[in-house]
């Protein structure tokens, strides 16, 4: 019953922190949740036992959050920055262990050197949840953002292994560098190998289950939710890093190719919704739990008369400066190496700013505290069990550094990397990117049209044109002026008919009549736009009229048989059909190269095709298919696949945020499901 009460209190606190986050926009959500956790601990400590089991905490909360973060990480960017990322995840952790360890032992001799190393090891890893929160508050450059993300995913193994050996040195009184290095390689590389194999096996298992006909969405989502817990426990059983195994498994599963079908689309939508709720709840619970542990961490040491409170504050400040200073120098060295390779920041000021961003953004969090709480209470010696030296003081120092690093990340990083674009501009840029994706789909489909597939692709093009027009109306996007496009089409009509007349493929009288009518339409569109062009068009029209009447006189000369009205009308219709088809071909071939919006060209093509259908009579036509027939299933699948490819391309190029790209993918999945269900 107590566990249920604690769970309900934690969830209620997370919901309350979400409301407070809206009221306090300048304070990061993790700090608000930590403060709420402190309040809960102070108010409910007599009724509810709030204790943190480190192993349970890591497997229950950290494992699924890391799995989700690994699946959504930008794999290409991580691989591109792999050298820098690994230097932070391994080399920087070791450097912090040494600097903090020697310094703490020198400041507080009562803390053994091995125990001081344990503190440094716990402070080495950055917290992925805290880093993600800081990244959302500031405009961190892409290179630093990728390094922070990769570092937070991988540095837990090096920190935990270093911590375990430091604690073992305290407990046993011996330490071997060779054994430590061997253990780290086994833990890190073994976890990577097993994680890759495990992730591949799970994907193959899920595919096999689908092949057997089990397309139950609930089963596949439940399997996905179970994966991080099984992966972490598998790592613990085998003797490798469970954290790294979870990360490797998540990355492998996201990289495996999958077929795009309705069942996969339905599973993706449900999975995304479930993970969204879980990540929100677990992120909040992690920081609330961190807040609940701080009073316990501070209490006994703060009221201890053996150490002055001012000295305790000074220790926290010095350790924070040493930790951040080591990180700052490491970043400067890393940027210098990148600069020599042509990929790092150029100027000295830019390097210093980049190093400062990387320094303060690498905040510590719940993982550090969970590691510290795993310090044993007693050490077995020849004289029996004795208390672990300065355990409470070590946890107090770690808690203070965590709080201070979060405060610095929350208030300093936004000053170093302020958001340069306001939300309205970001929304406008996202809307324009989405419109451009729909335009590209229209262009791709139009380019693929031929005589055989035109009847099936035309309804899909019309559907996408309608979607784009509705989207632009909703987002109030400006349209390109299409007058010039229509004038160009009228010009092509005239050129085509005049060429037909010159080749004797069109009767001169009806041909000039049609050209004269097109010229009048062109003149009306140009009226008031450009007087010089309008005058030239008027002169051309006069010439055409004169030529038309000259042809009439020729027809009335002896030996010429006048054409009856019905035949003349039929000939003009045939000329218009051929001219309209010529214009449609010109529009399709020039759609990709044109600077005009694709939906304008597509709509004009549809108008000409409608004219062709009306002139040809009641026979089945493209217009009839467009208006009355449902889009062809294969053609619609092709369009949706192109749209997904364009969404991914826009995300890779930075024109879409991860959240916007995910929302667009989900919309495509929904359309795929709806399309298949209605067929």
d(CA 329, CA 114) in angstroms, rounded, equals 24
Q: What is the pLDDT of residues 271-314, one digit of tens each?
A: 777 888 888 888 788 788 878 877 776 666 666 656 777 888 89
Mean pLDDT throughout 523-542?
A: 55
Q: What is the pLDDT of residues 410-441, one digit of tens each?
A: 888 888 877 655 556 667 777 778 888 887 88
Global pTM? 0.60
- Which of the residue ranges 50-64, 237-251, 348-362, 558-572 would you say has the lowest mean pLDDT? 558-572
Residue 387: helix, strand or coil by DSSP?
A: strand
- Assigned token pair, 575: 């000329």
Tokens 């795993």, located at residue = 374
d(CA 677, CA 134) in angstroms, rounded, equals 42
Select the more confidently predicted residue: 132 or 467: 467
Local confidence band at 594 (pLDDT 50, 70, 90 cut-offs): low
Q: What is the DSSP string of 301-357?
A: HHT-TTS-HHHHHHHHHHHHHHHHHHHHHHHHHHHHHHHHTT-S--SHHHHHHHHHH
Domain boundaries, the chain: 2-420, 422-481+597-679, 483-557+566-595
d(CA 354, CA 107) in angstroms, rounded, equals 31
- Please tell me the predicted confidence (pLDDT) of residue 323: 92
Of 64-78, 264-278, 305-319, 529-543, where does the model show the most confidence?
305-319
d(CA 227, CA 571) in angstroms, rounded, equals 72
Could you report how far apart the first and last alpha carbons of the chain are, in Å? 51
Q: Is the pLDDT of residue 321 over 90?
A: yes
Crossing angle of helices 217-238 and 63-72, rounded to 10°: 110
Local confidence band at 620 (pLDDT 50, 70, 90 cut-offs): very low
Tokens 């090096």, located at residue = 158
- Please tell me the predicted confidence (pLDDT) of residue 226: 92
Mean pLDDT throughout 102-110?
A: 90
Local confidence band at 525 (pLDDT 50, 70, 90 cut-offs): low
Q: Is the pLDDT of residue 384 over 90?
A: no
Of 154-158, 645-649, 674-678, where does the model show the most confidence?
645-649
Q: In the 8-state DSSP scheme, what is residue 92? A: I
- Please tell me the predicted confidence (pLDDT) of residue 629: 47
Local confidence band at 43 (pLDDT 50, 70, 90 cut-offs): confident
- Please tell me the predicted confidence (pLDDT) of residue 104: 92
Q: What percent of the chain has pLDDT over 90?
A: 6
SS percent in the chain: helix, strand, coil, step 5: 80, 0, 20
- Phi, psi dihedral angles at 100 (to 5 degrees): -65, -40
Mean pLDDT throughout 592-604?
A: 62
Select the more confidently predicted residue: 362 or 616: 362
User: Distance from CA of residue 632 to its chain's centroid?
Assistant: 31
Q: Is the pLDDT of residue 622 over 50?
A: no
- Which of the residue ranges 63-67, 444-448, 593-597 would you say has the lowest mean pLDDT? 593-597
Residue 443: helix, strand or coil by DSSP?
A: helix
Mean pLDDT throughout 181-188?
A: 79
Mean pLDDT throughout 572-590?
A: 80
Distances (CA, A) of 57 to 42, 62, 363, 367, 610: 21, 7, 19, 9, 66
- Which of the residue ranges 403-407, 502-506, 566-570, 673-677 would you say has the lowest mean pLDDT? 673-677
SS3 track for 179-220: HHHHHHHHHHHHHHHHHHHHHHHHHHHHHHHHHCCCCCHHHH
Local confidence band at 319 (pLDDT 50, 70, 90 cut-offs): very high
Local confidence band at 559 (pLDDT 50, 70, 90 cut-offs): very low
Local confidence band at 623 (pLDDT 50, 70, 90 cut-offs): very low
Q: Count CB-CB contacts under 10 A for residue 444.
A: 21
Q: Are the CB atoms for 633 and 675 separated by under 8 Å? A: yes
d(CA 371, CA 158) in angstroms, rounded, equals 12
Q: What is the pLDDT of residues 329-372, one digit of tens each?
A: 998 888 777 767 665 556 677 888 888 888 888 888 777 877 88
Q: What is the pLDDT of residues 646-667, one digit of tens each?
A: 887 777 666 777 777 777 877 7
Local confidence band at 462 (pLDDT 50, 70, 90 cut-offs): confident
- Please tell me the predicted confidence (pLDDT) of residue 501: 77
With b for 16 or more beta-carbon neighbours within 10 A and e for fewer, the 116-142 pattern comes to bbbbbbbbbbbbbbbbbbbbebbebee
Of 176-185, 312-321, 489-498, 660-669, where does the model show the most confidence?
312-321
Select the more confidently predicted residue: 531 or 524: 524
User: Distance from CA of residue 326 to its chain's centroid?
Assistant: 32
Q: Is the pLDDT of residue 541 over 80?
A: no
Which value, to the nearest 10 degrees, does the dihedral of the CA atoms of residues 225, 227, 228, 234 take? 150
Q: In the 8-state DSSP scheme, what is residue 165? A: H
Cβ-count burial of 3 within 10 angstroms (0-12 exposed, 13-18 middle, 19+ buried)? exposed
- Which of the residue ranges 57-71, 120-134, 547-561, 584-598 would you say has the lowest mean pLDDT? 547-561
- Please tell me the predicted confidence (pLDDT) of residue 44: 73
d(CA 632, CA 54) in angstroms, rounded, equals 56
- Which of the residue ranges 41-55, 172-186, 491-505, 543-557 would you say has the lowest mean pLDDT? 543-557
- Assigned token pair, 295: 């009073």
Beta-bridged to residue 378, according to DSSP, are 387
Q: In the 8-state DSSP scheme, what is residue 90? A: I
Select the more confidently predicted residue: 250 or 531: 250
The CATH number fitting domain 2-420, selected from 1.20.1530.20, 3.40.50.9100, 3.30.750.210, 1.10.3470.10: 1.20.1530.20
Local confidence band at 99 (pLDDT 50, 70, 90 cut-offs): very high
- Please tell me the predicted confidence (pLDDT) of residue 103: 92
Cβ-count burial of 80 within 10 angstroms (0-12 exposed, 13-18 middle, 19+ buried)? middle
Select the more confidently predicted residue: 591 or 89: 89
- Assigned token pair, 251: 């990355």
Cβ-count burial of 460 within 10 angstroms (0-12 exposed, 13-18 middle, 19+ buried)? buried
Beta-bridged to residue 381, according to DSSP, are 384
Local confidence band at 545 (pLDDT 50, 70, 90 cut-offs): low
Q: Are the CB atoms for 37 and 399 separated by under 8 Å? A: no
- Please tell me the predicted confidence (pLDDT) of residue 316: 92
- H-only helix segments in 557-597: 565-589
Beta strands in 354-448 (DSSP E): 378-381, 384-387
Residue 546: helix, strand or coil by DSSP?
A: helix
d(CA 519, CA 327) in angstroms, rounded, equals 73
- Which of the residue ranges 11-15, 94-98, 152-156, 562-566 would you say has the lowest mean pLDDT? 562-566
- Please tell me the predicted confidence (pLDDT) of residue 345: 59
- Please tell me the predicted confidence (pLDDT) of residue 318: 94
CA geometry: angle 371, 241, 401, nearest 5 deg = 25
CA geometry: angle 646, 647, 653, nearest 5 deg = 85
Stated as kind and residue range, the H or E segment containing 672 is helix 658-678
CA geometry: angle 45, 47, 53, nearest 5 deg = 60
Mean pLDDT throughout 227-249?
A: 88
């Amino acid at each position: 019953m107590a566990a249920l009460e604690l769970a309900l209190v934690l969830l209620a606190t997370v919901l309350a922190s979400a409301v407070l986050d809206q009221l306090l926009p300048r304070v990061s959500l993790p700090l608000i949740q930590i403060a709420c956790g402190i309040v809960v601990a102070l108010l409910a400590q007599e009724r509810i036992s709030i204790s943190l089991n480190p192993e349970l905490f890591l497997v229950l909360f950290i494992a699924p959050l890391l799995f989700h973060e690994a699946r959504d990480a930008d794999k290409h960017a991580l691989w591109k920055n792999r050298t820098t990322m690994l230097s932070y995840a391994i080399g920087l952790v070791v450097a912090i262990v040494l600097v903090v360890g020697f310094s703490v032992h020198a400041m507080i001799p009562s803390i053994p050197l091995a125990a001081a190393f344990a503190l440094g090891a716990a402070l080495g890893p950055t917290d992925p949840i805290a880093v993600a929160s800081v990244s959302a508050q500031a405009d961190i450059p892409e290179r630093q953002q990728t390094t922070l993300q990769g570092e937070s995913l991988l540095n837990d193994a090096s920190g935990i292994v270093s911590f375990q050996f430091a604690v073992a040195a305290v407990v046993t009184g011996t330490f071997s560098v060779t054994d430590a290095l061997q253990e780290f390689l086994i833990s890190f590389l073994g976890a990577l190998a097993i994680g890759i194999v495990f992730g591949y096996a799970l994907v193959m298992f899920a595919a096999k289950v689908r092949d057997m006909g089990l397309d139950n969405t609930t089963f596949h989502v439940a399997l996905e939710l179970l994966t991080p817990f099984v992966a972490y426990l598998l790592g613990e059983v085998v003797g490798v890093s469970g954290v790294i195994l979870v990360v490797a498994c998540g990355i492998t599963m996201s990289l495996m190719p999958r077929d795009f079908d309705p069942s996969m689309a339905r599973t993706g939508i449900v999975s995304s919704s479930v993970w969204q709720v879980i990540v929100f709840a677990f992120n909040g619970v992690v920081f609330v739990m961190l807040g609940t542990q701080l009073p316990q961490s501070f209490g006994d040491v703060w009221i201890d008369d053996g150490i002055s409170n001012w000295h305790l504050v000074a220790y926290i400040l010095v350790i924070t400066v040493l930790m951040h200073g080591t990180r700052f120098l490491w970043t400067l060295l890393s940027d210098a190496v990148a600069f020599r390779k042509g990929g790092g920041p150029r100027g000295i000021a830019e390097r210093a700013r980049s190093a400062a961003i990387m320094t303060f953004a690498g905040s510590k969090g719940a993982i550090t505290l969970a590691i510290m709480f795993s310090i044993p209470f007693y050490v077995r010696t020849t004289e029996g069990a004795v208390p672990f030296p300065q355990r409470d003081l070590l946890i107090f120092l770690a808690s203070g550094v965590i709080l201070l690093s979060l405060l610095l990340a929350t208030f300093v990083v936004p000053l170093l990397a302020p958001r340069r674009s306001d939300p309205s501009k970001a929304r406008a840029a996202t809307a324009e990117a989405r419109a451009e994706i729909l335009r590209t789909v229209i262009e791709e489909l139009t380019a693929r049209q031929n005589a055989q597939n035109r009847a099936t692709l035309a309804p899909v093009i019309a559907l996408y044109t309608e979607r784009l027009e509705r989207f632009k109306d909703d987002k109030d996007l400006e349209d390109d002026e299409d007058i010039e496009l229509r004038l160009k089409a009228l010009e092509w009509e005239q050129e085509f008919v005049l060429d037909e007349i010159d080749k004797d493929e069109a009767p001169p009288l009806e041909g000039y009549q049609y050209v004269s009518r097109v010229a009048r339409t062109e003149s009306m569109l140009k009226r008031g736009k450009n007087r010089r062009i309008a005058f030239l068009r008027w002169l051309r029209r006069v010439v055409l009229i004169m030529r038309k009447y000259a042809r009439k006189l020729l027809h009335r000369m002896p030996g010429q048989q006048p054409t009856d009205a019905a035949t003349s009308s039929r000939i003009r219709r045939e000329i218009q059909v051929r001219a309209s088809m010529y214009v449609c071909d010109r529009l399709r071939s020039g759609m990709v190269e044109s600077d005009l919006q694709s939906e304008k060209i597509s709509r004009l093509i549809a108008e000409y095709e409608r004219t062709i259908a009306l002139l040809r009579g009641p026979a089945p036509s493209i217009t009839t298919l467009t208006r009355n027939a449902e889009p062809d299933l294969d053609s619609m699948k092709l369009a949706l696949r192109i749209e997904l490819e364009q969404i991914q391309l826009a995300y890779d190029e930075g024109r879409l945020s991860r959240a916007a790209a995910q929302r667009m993918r989900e919309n495509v999945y929904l359309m795929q499901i709806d399309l298949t269900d209605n067929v």
